[in-house]
A and B are shown apart, each in its own frame.
Chain A
Amino acid sequence: MWQVIGQDKILSLLDYSLKTDAIAHAYLLVGPRHVGKGTLAINLAQALNCDGPELPCGQCRSCQRILEGKHADVTPIGLDSKTEIGIDDIRGLQRLANLPPYEGKCKVFIIDDAEYLSTEAANSLLKILEEPPPRVVWLLLAAEEKHLLPTIISRCQRLELKPVPSEQVQEVLVNSYNVDADKAKLLTQLCHGRLGWALSALANDDILEQRSQRIARLVSLLTPTSRSLEQRFAYAQELASQFSQNRRAGTEIIEIWLDWWRDLMLIKGGCQEAVINVDYEIALEEQAGGLSLSEIKGFLANLCLLQEEISKNVNPRLALEWLMLNLPRRESPKH
């Protein structure tokens, strides 16, 4: 049984390839973070080494060992708190790739965050992707495909994992994980079709707690009592330092901002049912009341611009301060 949900097209392709023994030597799995790339990679590794009748069975010893990360022929590598995957990591894999499987039927190398391969590493990987040894399958996982070398992409079969439809996510949450309807609805909206995110938020309450804190900060910047520039600049500075420590956390906060302002726009336009932050509807409505549609639209455009500029490596603090200056400031009545 495949464990991946909502990727039926890919699964039927893989099923067919497994049945006809036409598995490619390398697959590139692209799709947003938490959409199920890792699960699919592990599943595929299981299928390639499975002893059961229905691939992957998930029950046999080999499937179990792969799931627990103990199988000698399934080698996952990733960033592991480094900033890039270096050439030494790839060289180590190359040596292993030229040896036959140790205990299973097929060697599987899983490179997570493949977009973070250094140029040298990617080039050295090219060589082995070009002349693949027998019984070796490479699985490259990437969230941001555009950072990969085109030469790598062209040597892999590309499988694109699409965000899972909301109804399906909600159904899985309610039926398979026994989540109550309200929470399921919230998680479904928040996860943007990435079931993996919803599940990790379910397992770890801190994720939702952190989100609430972040939203509280965001809301506080817009309340009438604390709208001074100083406060906003302090926030910009704090967020900028967040970026320098942990870029991903920084981008997550920007995404929360985007969702929030998108919701404001939806409410302004009267489309309450599509709102993401369903648990903050009252706060959203209150805020939306004080803003005009053009203000919201303008700020959303600014947020998108900021996101793009930061990905191009502009100074986060400057960019964020600019954003804060553009944050709508309702004139107080006494003026």
Chain B
Amino acid sequence: MKLSCLQENLNRGLSIVGRAVATRSTLPITQNILLSAEQSRLKLSATNLEMAITCWVGAKVKQKGDITVPARLLSDFVNSLPNDLIEVNLPANSRILELKSGHFQAHIHGIDAADFPPIPQINDGITTTIEAASLREGIAQVAFAAATEESRPVLTGINTEFDGEQLNLAAADGFRLAVHKTTLSSPVKEKTTVIIPARTLNELNRLIGEQEEPVEITVNEKKSQVLFRLKDAELVSQLIQGSFPNYSQVIPQSYTTRAVVDINEFLRVTKMSSIFARDASGIVRLVITPGSELAPGKITVSAQAEEVGDNVGEVDALTDGEEAKIAFNVRYLSDVLSVLSQAQVALELTTPSSPGTIRPIGVDNYVHVVMPMFVQW
């Protein structure tokens, strides 16, 4: 292998695939990055056996070849080089990669590329494309609601349903549920539902970044892997096996009280209360007071911590229905309010013991359901 490329390009490529490098693993080679010199470009791949990222960097290839080298070592070294041309050389029958750039050079001991776990190839199955912006929004508004602990594996993933031109993303952790609907650029030939690990989608969102080109999604025939093809990178993820709970019955069909508030103001009082709620198991109490002829309606948000203190905040609201009370975990409230980009949000309640629903105003593609906490009023 013999090639030259720009430090800037190589560094960017390494930081992209670096996200898929295993941190601690029983298979040590997964802490390496696979470098393959192809026709006029350098392919970088990494996998942690859950997801694999492949990325191509423009390079002048004089001789093809491949090798794996420790990811940290390579990316730290390349990162510290000035932006200049880097000569990469792997002598025949050698496992020591030579890097040379101006006054600097390094030798990195690698492992044979044949030992690297194969990066899954997905050629068959269901393919579709989606606008980068819609996918980005969907992931951002859903992924945070997925469970982080492993006791129910399906909940650590995001239920992804391709149905005609519709893409439905849903995540739940037993206390909250987020459902986002968006349209695909091209319809799928048959309805398909898979569970994609939330970690993968968070990484995907980072990869999409500012990209404007549509993203191509392919689910393989066996429904065990999914491929996201971006402008200059590919992400393949294993899919979580199992079936996602039927969440549609969790979404309340009606409400007795509804309050429409400005998101930013609502978020501010919520965050304020979280300061006191820290010492009170995260509990905040919400009271929706209907407006009268003279005064507008309002939501009162309060938190009280025994022997620490308490606070109360109010937000003006357009209300509908009778007075209502409910208590939430403050994190579940602030999490959802911080990912919404709309100006206003509606909070719909029935009783203090039934879940509350949050819907952004102006769009009808997002629902968030939060379970209440039981408190003495």
B151–chain A nearest beta-carbon distance, Å: 7
Cβ contacts B220-246/A at 8 Å (1 or 0 each): 001011000000000000111110000
Q: Which residues of A have CB within 8 Å of B120?
A: 102-103
Alpha-carbon separation in the docked complex, A75 to B117 (Å) = 13
Contact: A92 with B117, CB < 8 Å? no
A251–chain B nearest beta-carbon distance, Å: 28
Among A69, A76, A92, point to the contact of B24 (Cβ < 8 A).
A92
Among B27, B151, B239, point to the contact of A100 (Cβ < 8 A).
B239
Q: Which residues of B have CB within 8 Å of A68?
A: 115
Contact: A99 with B118, CB < 8 Å? no
Q: Which residues of B have CB within 8 Å of A92?
A: 24, 26
Q: Which residues of A have CB within 8 Å of B240?
A: 98-99
B195–chain A nearest beta-carbon distance, Å: 10
Contact: B49 with A96, CB < 8 Å? yes
Q: Which residues of A have CB within 8 Å of B151?
A: 127
Q: Which residues of B have CB within 8 Å of A242?
A: none
Alpha-carbon separation in the docked complex, A98 to B150 (Å) = 9
Alpha-carbon separation in the docked complex, A75 to B24 (Å) = 13
Alpha-carbon separation in the docked complex, A95 to B240 (Å) = 10
Contact: B117 with A103, CB < 8 Å? yes
Alpha-carbon separation in the docked complex, A99 to B154 (Å) = 10
Q: Which residues of A have CB within 8 Å of B118?
A: 103
Contact: B117 with A99, CB < 8 Å? no
Contact: B153 with A70, CB < 8 Å? no
Alpha-carbon separation in the docked complex, A83 to B117 (Å) = 31
Alpha-carbon separation in the docked complex, A183 to B48 (Å) = 47
Q: Which residues of A have CB within 8 Å of B26?
A: 75-77, 92
Q: Which residues of B have CB within 8 Å of A134?
A: 241
Alpha-carbon separation in the docked complex, A69 to B117 (Å) = 11
- The residue of chain B having its C-beta at the shortest distance from the C-beta of A76 within the complex is B26
Alpha-carbon separation in the docked complex, A133 to B239 (Å) = 13
Q: Which of A72-130 contact B (CB under 8 A)?
A: 72, 75-77, 91-92, 94-96, 98-103, 127
Q: Which residues of A have CB within 8 Å of B29?
A: 70
Q: Which residues of A have CB within 8 Å of B239?
A: 99-100
Contact: A72 with B27, CB < 8 Å? yes
- The residue of chain B having its C-beta at the shortest distance from the C-beta of A72 within the complex is B117
Contact: A133 with B49, CB < 8 Å? no
Contact: B115 with A70, CB < 8 Å? yes
Alpha-carbon separation in the docked complex, A100 to B118 (Å) = 15
B40–chain A nearest beta-carbon distance, Å: 29
A328–chain B nearest beta-carbon distance, Å: 51
Q: Which of B33-74 contact A (CB under 8 A)?
A: 47, 49-50
Contact: B238 with A102, CB < 8 Å? yes
Interface centre among B24, B26, B49, B242 (most CB of A within 10 A): B26
Contact: A99 with B150, CB < 8 Å? no
State the majority secondary structure of interface residues on A: loop
Cβ contacts B16-30/A at 8 Å (1 or 0 each): 000000001011011
- The residue of chain A having its C-beta at the shortest distance from the C-beta of B115 within the complex is A70
A77–chain B nearest beta-carbon distance, Å: 6
Interface size on A (CB < 8 Å)? 21
Q: Which residues of B have CB within 8 Å of A91?
A: 150
Alpha-carbon separation in the docked complex, A94 to B27 (Å) = 16
Alpha-carbon separation in the docked complex, A101 to B225 (Å) = 10
Alpha-carbon separation in the docked complex, A94 to B118 (Å) = 22
Contact: B241 with A94, CB < 8 Å? no
Contact: A72 with B49, CB < 8 Å? yes
Cβ contacts A202-242/B at 8 Å (1 or 0 each): 00000000000000000000000000000000000000000
Q: A72-B49, A103-B117 are in contact. Are A98 and B242 (CB under 8 A)?
A: yes
Interface centre among B49, B50, B224, B225 (most CB of A within 10 A): B49
Alpha-carbon separation in the docked complex, A75 to B50 (Å) = 14
Q: Which residues of B have CB within 8 Å of A100?
A: 222, 224-225, 238-239, 241
Among A77, A96, A102, A133, point to the contact of B117 (Cβ < 8 A).
A102
Contact: B241 with A99, CB < 8 Å? yes
Q: Which residues of B have CB within 8 Å of A99?
A: 49-50, 197, 238-241
Q: Which residues of B have CB within 8 Å of A77?
A: 26
- The residue of chain B having its C-beta at the shortest distance from the C-beta of A99 within the complex is B238
Among B50, B117, B150, B197, point to the contact of A94 (Cβ < 8 A).
B150
- The residue of chain B having its C-beta at the shortest distance from the C-beta of A127 within the complex is B151
Q: Which residues of A have CB within 8 Å of B238?
A: 99-100, 102
Among B27, B156, B241, point to the contact of A133 (Cβ < 8 A).
B241
Q: Which residues of B have CB within 8 Å of A76?
A: 26
Q: Which residues of A have CB within 8 Å of B225?
A: 100
Alpha-carbon separation in the docked complex, A134 to B240 (Å) = 11
A312–chain B nearest beta-carbon distance, Å: 33
Q: Which of A127-156 contact B (CB under 8 A)?
A: 127, 133-134
Q: Which residues of A have CB within 8 Å of B242?
A: 98, 133
Q: Which residues of A have CB within 8 Å of B30?
A: 72
- The residue of chain B having its C-beta at the shortest distance from the C-beta of A70 within the complex is B115
B114–chain A nearest beta-carbon distance, Å: 9
Among A70, A95, A98, point to the contact of B27 (Cβ < 8 A).
A70
Alpha-carbon separation in the docked complex, A76 to B26 (Å) = 7
Q: Which residues of B have CB within 8 Å of A70?
A: 27, 29, 115, 117
Q: Which residues of A have CB within 8 Å of B50?
A: 95-96, 99
Alpha-carbon separation in the docked complex, A70 to B112 (Å) = 11
- The residue of chain B having its C-beta at the shortest distance from the C-beta of A88 within the complex is B24
Cβ contacts A39-71/B at 8 Å (1 or 0 each): 000000000000000000000000000001110
6 shortest A-B CB distances, which residue pairs?
A98-B153, A100-B224, A72-B117, A99-B238, A75-B26, A70-B115
Known: A76-B26, A101-B224. 14 other contacts (CB 8 A): A69-B27, A70-B115, A92-B24, A94-B153, A95-B50, A95-B156, A96-B49, A96-B50, A98-B241, A99-B49, A99-B238, A100-B241, A102-B117, A103-B120
* 17 A-B pairs (CB sep. < 8 Å): A70-B115, A70-B117, A72-B47, A72-B49, A72-B117, A75-B26, A76-B26, A95-B150, A98-B156, A98-B240, A98-B242, A99-B240, A100-B225, A100-B239, A100-B241, A101-B224, A102-B49
